[in-house]
Structure 1
Amino acid sequence: MNDKKILRVIPAEKVNMGGIILDQPLPASGIDQIDPFLLIHHWDSELPGGQHQRDVGVGPHPHRGFSPVTFVFKGDLQHRDSLGNDATVTSGGTQWMHAGRGITHSERPSAAMAESGGPLEFIQFWVNSPAAHKMDNAFYLPLSNEETPRIEDEGYHLAIVAGIYEGVKGPAPTLSPMTLLRGGIKADFSCEVSLPSSFNTMIYLLDGELQINNIEARAKDLVQLGQDGEAISILAKKDTRFIVLSGEPINEEVTSYGPFVMNDQTQIMQAIRDAQMGKMGILIEDF
């Protein structure tokens, strides 16, 4: 089995999203996407408490043409949408949403967390949808930590959110072939990860320090690996939490504008008109 070649190590940049400072490893300078992955945002903050839920998180907004996926690491997030879904996912859980032809949703810390305060940490990443599925019906799936299968060995664990890894199938449905993992490894331990050579693969470190195929990576680095092998060797220099995003490239044109990801500008203009006309649903939050 050949090693996957490391193409680059991308340090996350600080970005201001409506007054919220996030770490963004993707897109990065000169890198619009790593097909099929479009964006990665890492939110890590301390809520002060004493707040109303309406004043925290992200209020109702539409999406079309891709899947925004959220891995929750600390605290909780409540999802509401125009399909009538209302679910709160806590540490270790995942919010999985396929926007399809259109959906309006909000993501906020729960009312209890807004009041009590505490650490809130999550990663949201956007997965492109193939053209054939961009106008499918939208759907939402909340996954708890307990509903996410894990592989554990001495010094490390891997949770399989989507795809099949070492014979274990993740519960999240995907529209193109991919494997999505959440991992943790203790200092001085090692593990081997094997993924198809045809997949574009990334490893993002939430914290800690790893040696990946003999290349050093530190907290908030994104390691991009190529399509020339299957094997990934991971050695922990420090206790580290990480995610693995690996998928078959879709190899289609991508045109995006804000919360819409389509294949051409005409489709983007239609998405904007449809959102303005309420065709992506209406969400009125009840506080």
Structure 2
Amino acid sequence: MRQLLRQYPAQRDDIADLVTRRPLPGPGLPQVDPFLFLNHHGPQTYRPGNSGLPFGPHPHRGFETVSFILEGEMAHLDSGGHESVIRAGGIQWMTAGSGLIHAEISPASFKRAGGPLEILQLWVNLPGRLKMTKPAYTGLQREDIPAIPVEGGVVNLISGAFGETQGPFESLTGVAMMTVALEAGGHVDLPAPAGRSVFFYVVAGSPSANGTPVKPHHLATFAMDGDTIAVTAQAPATILYGHADPIGEPVVSHGPFVMNTREEIVRAIDDYNAGLFGKPPVIR
């Protein structure tokens, strides 16, 4: 079993009327290589006639974004021509790579009727050799995500392997991602392969990891001294969990760009201003 080292609380940082918590980066924890950033939006309920999500067209380069729609809906449009509306339980995986402009907004139906909303967005770094890879996007609905029964709960497998099951998303760097939902008394042994970084964020509840309770809205870090994390829930709990090989390269970030050097950041800004990321998607 891996030793739990520390728990880091998510910092509250609302965006307009969108409730937002951010455990990463945070005080004392700049990254969990290759995991760079997590925003936890909600849970909250939007009134009818709302303005929806505030994320209009904006650029990215050098990493991937993975969005988990736990409640509500999210529409995606980007300069590569991809467009979708993903409902509760679905996942969006975008490889920004060499550069993409995208928008993450609420569809007209949600703005009109309102309703519950809870979304997680995780940024996953790319190594230098892949930062200028061709941009890509895949959006899958709940029914496309394998739901693997475990003792008193379920593992929703997004990428990588869990037991004999393979997730539907193929990460460029072999990242394994899943969400775990446990009822009271539920238990699951999560794989933590040797040498890989673990990402363990408690979305709701206070499950125990290898016997230590982890607080809600906290990110737990672990030593590299084992290959399993045993999770038990005394009350219902939801966890965002993943593991990946560390990249071990310099990280230089500036807003929506994540590169290895300051010079590469300057080039990203210049390329964006020159229109090399494509035309911004048109919000209808």
Question: TM tier, shorter chain?
Answer: over 0.9
Counterparts of 1:236 and 1:165, CA distance in 2: 19
Residues 28 and 248 of structure 1: CA distance in aligned 2, closer, same or farther (over 3 Å): same
* Partner SS, residue 267 of structure 1: helix
Which of 125, 135, 148 is the matching residue for 2:145?
148
CA contact (8 A) 1:4 1:197 kept: no
Q: Specify whether residues 18 and 271 from structure 1 end up closer, same or farther in structure 2 by C-alpha distance, changes over 3 A only.
A: farther
Aligned to 1:242: 239
Q: CA deviation at 1:208?
A: 1.0
Q: Is the 8 A contact 1:36 1:248 kept in 2?
A: yes
Cα shift at 1:164: 1.5
* Secondary structure of the corresponding residue to residue 238 of structure 1: coil
Partner Cα separation in structure 2 for residue 163 and residue 102 of structure 1? 25
Residues 175-219 of structure 1 deviation map (CA, whole Å, 9 limit, x = unaligned): 212211111000122221122021111211111111111111121
8 Å CA contact 1:178, 1:199 repeated in 2: no
Q: Distance in 2 between matches of 1:211 and 1:286?
A: 44
Distance of 1:51 and 1:30 partners within structure 2: 36
- 2:28 alignment counterpart: 30
Structure 1 residue 200 and structure 2 residue 218: aligned? no
Contact 2:103–2:281 under 8 Å retained in 1: no
Task: Calculate percent identity across the aligned residue pairs.
Answer: 32
Query: Normalized against structure 1, the TM-score is what?
Result: 0.95
1:171-186 aligned at under 5 Å gives the runs: 171-186=168-183
Aligned counterpart, 2:40: 42
In the TM superposition, residue 279 of structure 1 has moved relative to its aligned partner by: 0.8
- Bigger mean CA deviation after superposition, 76-85 or 41-50: 41-50
**Aligned equivalents of 2:182 and 2:230: distance in 1?**
12
Q: Aligned runs of 1:75-154 on 2, under 5 Å?
A: 75-154=72-151
Q: Secondary structure at the match of 2:250?
A: coil
Give the equivalent residue in structure 2 for 1:215: 212
**Deviating more after overlay: 9-18 vs 67-76:** 9-18
Instruction: Assess, with a 3 A threshold, how the Cα gap between structure 1 residues 286 and 193 changes in structure 2: closer, same or farther.
Output: closer
Equivalent residue letter for 1:121: E
Q: Equivalent residue for 1:224? A: 221
Q: Tell me by how many angstroms 1:19 deviates.
A: 6.1
Q: Is it true that 1:64 corresponds to 2:61 in the alignment?
A: yes
Query: 1:9–1:224: 8 Å Cα contact kept in structure 2?
Result: yes
Change (3 A) 1:274 1:207: same
Matches of 1:41 and 1:196, distance apart in 2: 25
- State the one-letter code of the partner of 2:57: P
SS at the partner of 1:271? helix
Of 246, 251, 256, the residue aligned with 1:254 is 251
Identify which range, 241-250 or 120-129, moves more after superposition. 241-250
CA distance in 1: counterparts of 2:50 and 2:217, whole angstroms: 29
Residue 24 of structure 1 aligns to which amino acid in structure 2?
Answer: R
> In structure 2, how many angstroms separate the alpha carbons of the residues matched to 1:132 and 1:57?
32
Letter in 1 for 2:111: A
Please, what TM-score do these two structures have when normalized by structure 2? 0.96
Paired residues of 2:101 and 2:281 also in contact (CA < 8 A): no
Amino acid of the structure 2 residue aligned with 1:8: R
Q: Which moved more, 1:82-91 or 1:193-202?
A: 193-202
CA–CA separation in structure 1 for the residues paired with 2:235 and 2:54: 31
- Whether 1:280 aligns to 2:277 is yes
